[in-house]
Structures are given as C-alpha cells and as structure tokens.
Amino acid sequence: MTEAIAAAFFEELAAAGYARLSLEAVAKRAGAGKAAIYRRWPSKLEMTVALVSAAAVDTPETDTGTLRGDVLAFLTEAAAALRHPLPARIIPDLLAESGRNPELRQALLTSVRDTRRARAAHVLDRAVERGELPPDVDRELALDLVAGPLYWRLLVVGTPTAPDYLDRLTDKLLAAFTA
C-alpha cells in the first residue's frame, strides 16, 4: 500500500504542485483511506520530505576507482533521474515553493541537498586519497560545479543534450577541479 501511496503522491504533486497538494487528493488517487495517509505522515510537509528524500537519495553510491569514472557515474545517475517526467515537473515546483516556504526549504536542504552533497564529497575524498586531486581542492566550489550545470541544462533551460554531453561535462568538471 505504501508504494501505491507514494506513486499517487508523486503523480498528484506533479499535477497540482506543492501549494495545491492535499493529502486527501493523494489518498483518493491511491485508492486509500485518509487515515492510511495520516498514520504514516501527519502533514503534507512530512509526506513531501519523506517521499522526495527517499526518491532523491535511493541509489547506491558508485566507486569506479577513478575520479572521472565516479563523476561520470554520479552525473549519469542524476541525469537519468532529472530526465524522468515526474521529477522534471516536481523539482522546479519544489524549488519555487521553497522560496516561499522556509520550513519546506530547510527540510529539503537537510534531507536532499545535504545527502546528495555528502555523496559527491565522498567522490572528491576518494580522489584526494588516490592522488587524483590535490588535498587543498576547493571542495565547496567543486560540489557546486558537480550538480549545477546538469540541473541548469535539464531543469531550468530544458535543452536537450547530445549523446556525449555527460562525457564532455565530466571532462570540463575535472579540468575545473584541478585548475
């Protein structure tokens, strides 16, 4: 039942947006009673944070043995998620709503952004340990660069990518990390 509720939640969030999302509409879409929803998540905020966080970080961490391989794997996984129709509609809405709702913003920063940044930081840490990056690499800037261009291209601008885009982006990121 939880999977059906989660699927209904994401469909309703994509259709209505966070501001108009109601737990009652999610229950109806899932064919579940409102009590089933409220037992698991007492509020729209809690449901959103729990389900979005689980979806955003529910992929295994990849260690390919090289910085290039790890960055490419990270970008490939992120691109696959961002190209899916539901996240492509949900993420911009949640980002916009986060600007109006400090509680949602903080919850998503803590549960999604911080978790994803920690995974990317492990990529950098392993590269430093292997001698592929200098110990004084600008970690904060590198972490911003890992996610920024891909999110911008796929979600903000919505420009299609060439088949070699992720390879080229990986090469540019590696050059920036060591510059």
Shared domain for 14 and 57, answered yes or no, is: no
Shared domain for 51 and 35, answered yes or no, is: no
To the nearest 10 degrees (0 to 180), the angle between helices 67-83 and 139-151 is: 40
Shared domain for 27 and 51, answered yes or no, is: no
Q: Write down the pLDDT at residue 88.
A: 84
Q: Is 137 helix (H, G, I), strand (E, B) or coil?
A: coil
Question: How far apart are alpha carbons 30 and 2 in whole angstroms?
Answer: 9
Shared domain for 110 and 160, answered yes or no, is: yes
Q: Write down the pLDDT at residue 60.
A: 74
CATH assignment of the domain containing 76 = 1.10.357.10
Q: Write down the pLDDT at residue 1.
A: 60
DSSP result, 7-57: HHHHHHHHHH-TTT--HHHHHHHHT--HHHHHHH-SSHHHHHHHHHHHHHH
Q: Write down the pLDDT at residue 24.
A: 93
* Average pLDDT by stretches of 10, the chain with 179 residues: 89 95 95 92 93 80 94 93 87 93 92 88 96 95 93 90 96 93
Question: How far apart are alpha carbons 64 and 67 in whole angstroms?
Answer: 8
Contact indicator for 96, 90 with CB cutoff of 8 Å: no
Shared domain for 51 and 31, answered yes or no, is: no
Question: How far apart are alpha carbons 15 and 93 in whole angstroms?
Answer: 10
Shared domain for 63 and 132, answered yes or no, is: yes
Shared domain for 69 and 145, answered yes or no, is: yes
Shared domain for 25 and 56, answered yes or no, is: no
CATH assignment of the domain containing 6 = 1.10.10.60
Residue burial 57-66, b: 16+ Cβ < 10 Å; e: rest: eeeeeeeeee
**Boundaries of domain holding 159:** 44-178
The encoded tokens of residue 35 equal: 């009590």
Shared domain for 58 and 125, answered yes or no, is: yes
Q: Is 134 helix (H, G, I), strand (E, B) or coil?
A: coil
Shared domain for 142 and 81, answered yes or no, is: yes
Q: Tell me the whole-structure pTM to 2 decimals.
A: 0.84
